[in-house]
Amino acid sequence: MRDRDRGVVTRRAVLRAWFGPPALGAVLYGAISLPLGVLDLGCVCLVLPVTAVPAVRSRLRPPGSACPGAPLTDGLSALATGHRWLAARLLGAWVTAPPAPARPLTIRPARPPDTRPPGPLAWARLARAADPAAPWRTVLYLLLKLPLAVVMFWVWAPCWAWAAVLISFPAWWRALPPWLDSDLWRQPHRGPLRLGALPLDVWPNCLLVTAAGVLLLLAAPWVNRVVLVDGLLVRALLGRSEKDRLRESRALAVDGSTAALRRIERDLHDGAQAQLVALAMKLGMAREELTAGARDEALTLIEAAHGDAKQALVELRDLARGIHPAALDDGLALALETLAARSAIPVELRVDLPERPAPAIETIAYFGAAELLANAAKHSGARRVTLTVRPVGPNRLCLAAADDGTGGARTDGGGLAGLIDRVRTVEGRVFVDSPAGGPTVVRVELPVRP
Amino acid sequence: MRVVVAEDSALLRDGLVHLLTRRGHRVLAAVPDADALLAAVAADPPEIAVVDIRLPPTRTHEGLMAAMTLRREHPEVAVLLLSQYVETRYARHLLSGPCEGVGYLLKDRVADVSDFIDALSRVAAGGTVLDPEVVSQLMGASRRAGPLETLTTREREVLELMAQGRSNGAIAAGLVLSQASVEKHISAIFGKLGLPPSGTDHRRVLAVLRYLESQE
């Protein structure tokens, strides 16, 4: 699983970062950074001012559109997408795109499309109307790319170059004319090449230089990792900003609560309401039987109605617990004890919380634990589960569930995805380590106060 | 009476079957979804079909759609729709087609067994039955309008019962009036609201409903 920008990290991704494709990717990225940087600078310096010319812009604008310069932001976001793709494929830095700029909200009645050529201030208005930062952050990145590529080039290119030079030393040192010597070593010509007292232009010794070259070659991929700095820049400038993240987590929270309300309505409709209608029906029939004098039929109906009433109580109690378990009022530890006692498989519970978290966090932790225990019981065939809650660092707690089942937990759908979404609404993180066949460990980190 | 029941909650389905059987009606089929309903009616047409509006798979308004299909393909089969909630637009939709032998009731009415059986008989006989809750919502919405305020309290009560699909005799019995005074009230109502006098009960319901909706 890749190390995506979702707050979900797996052990395998960490292992793979040390070997294999990332090294090759870094080399490739470094190689194309320089030409790309030139291209980006060209785009910014030539295309942008050209599109600022009103005549060009009015021709570029699609007929009837109210947003001048829309093709411009499209071009910028296309460039940004390209850079993000390169960073993802070659550097392994998966950066989520910022949300598309929202259309400017018109509260006043729509005016007819503006057919005047947009003036110089239209740029500023465009930036304010759309998501304010995104196009400008992209332009900043495009401007910075070339200087950064040049700086990085002077770090990694000499490494490779010197490695090639040193390794091939035995092949060409004889061809070195004497005066080139002194230029290379920046010392007055001292006769044959030497390393201190060791002459290098003698057959066995020149292999030392080759060895040095080989060492340099081995180190070169690591030096090439300096291009990861570009990946950081991509994440900072072309990824989501803090505001985007907050907006997204707010949307998640609202959607989550809407979905929860819909579930409650459906549970009430199909469960308790149906039971109460059946109950009322049976009591109505019982009354008629009684007035008609048929005692036995009335008794049967009343017994059935009694059963319906008790069933309705059970359903309502379960529903209430699904909305807010009463035990949570007394603290997370007590609620988790009740949860552990009701679980189908034996649960070893260890709760160590010096202070009570905020109620919202307790609720998320409780339902998260319920989800994890249910998954362990339903899918993994585990025989025991260990549930621990302990503080990690200031203002953070960690809820961990470890089971000895068959693993293979999936985070892309179902309850675990819902848990991840809920945790993200409070800026928490979920770590899932569930190799197929092996034990599953899920850690949920939450702030103590959101 | 021969009845087909379509209801997805097994508890309610069995309850309805039990209730109908005890009252001497014959339940030809009790089905859990709309397709089974249409198949059952096609196989052995009943006199009336009792249909829940919310049926699988999406549980939104499959029952309503099936009822409209039934009205088109088997016009001799009356349809009584049951719903957990009052949705005036469902009532409107239902009454947009031919509305002899059409009814819309809340499931709560099932608790009053005699009233339910009475409504069932009226719909099977070709009348139109609307839940009092639907009618009062419509009337409450149009209270803002002018002409309804010109009605006296008595006339408004008569109007409500008329909109529920009651006959003159039933209105007289319900309000403890003589049939003659009920008829007088009705013609006064029609006069004040500017509606043409209509003959049969269900046409009356239609006229009143259309009037009430236009006032919303």
Residues of B in contact with A275 (CB under 8 A): 11
- The pLDDT score that the predictor gives to residue A338 is 87
Residues of A in contact with B15 (CB under 8 A): 277-278, 281-282
Q: Does B18 touch chain A (CB under 8 A)?
A: yes
Q: Alpha-carbon distance A66 to A129, whole Å?
A: 12
- Cα torsion B33, B34, B35, B40: sign: positive
Mean pLDDT value across residues A86-98 = 79
Residues of A in contact with B53 (CB under 8 A): none
**DSSP for B43-60, written as a single string:** HS--SEEEEES--TTT-S
> What CA dihedral angle connects A359, A361, A363 and A369, to 10 degrees?
-150
Contact B22, B53 (CB under 8 A): no
Q: Does B115 touch chain A (CB under 8 A)?
A: no
Strand-pairing partners, residue A195, are A198
pLDDT of residue B120 exceeding 90? yes
Q: Which residue of A has its CA nearest to B60?
A: A266
Residues of A in contact with B109 (CB under 8 A): none
Q: Which residue of B has its CA nearest to A305?
A: B15
| Per-residue model confidence as pLDDT tens digits over A187-217 | 554 455 666 666 666 667 777 788 888 888 8
More confident residue, A397 or A194: A397
What's the whole-number average pLDDT of chain A? 77
**DSSP for A56-85, written as a single string:** HHHHHSPTT-SSTTHHHHHHHHHHHHHHHH
pLDDT of residue A64 exceeding 60? no
pLDDT of residue A182 exceeding 70? no
pLDDT more than 90, % of chain B: 27
Q: How far is CA B136 from the centre of its chain?
A: 14
Q: How far is CA A184 from CA A153, A180, B192, in A?
A: 21, 6, 113
Closest approach of A392 to chain B, Cα-based (Å): 45
- The pLDDT score that the predictor gives to residue A258 is 85
Range with the poorest average pLDDT among A266-275, A430-439, B144-153: B144-153
pLDDT of residue B152 exceeding 70? yes
Q: Which residue of B has its CA nearest to A269?
A: B84
Which one of A275, A281, A308 has the shortest CB-CB distance to B19?
Answer: A281
Q: Does B113 touch chain A (CB under 8 A)?
A: yes
Closest approach of A249 to chain B, Cα-based (Å): 29
Range with the poorest average pLDDT among A64-73, A203-212, B145-154: A64-73
User: E-assigned strands of A317-450?
Assistant: 347-351, 385-391, 396-403, 429-433, 440-447
- The pLDDT score that the predictor gives to residue A180 is 47
Which one of B59, B108, B113 has the shortest CB-CB distance to A277?
Answer: B108
- Beta carbons of A284 and B107 less than 8 Å apart: no
Q: Alpha-carbon distance B203 to B100, whole Å?
A: 9
pLDDT of residue A18 exceeding 80? no
Closest approach of B188 to chain A, Cα-based (Å): 38
- The pLDDT score that the predictor gives to residue A412 is 74
- Residue A60's pLDDT band (cuts 50, 70, 90): low
Range with the poorest average pLDDT among A13-22, A135-144, B181-190: A13-22
- The pLDDT score that the predictor gives to residue A56 is 54
SS3 content of chain B, % helix, strand, coil (to 5): 55, 15, 30
- Residue A72's pLDDT band (cuts 50, 70, 90): low
Best mutation target among B13, B19, B113 (most A Cβ atoms within 10 Å) is: B113
- The pLDDT score that the predictor gives to residue A107 is 41
Closest approach of B114 to chain A, Cα-based (Å): 9
- Beta carbons of B114 and A277 less than 8 Å apart: no
Residues of A in contact with B59 (CB under 8 A): 266
DSSP B66: H
Q: Does B12 touch chain A (CB under 8 A)?
A: yes
More confident residue, A307 or A119: A307
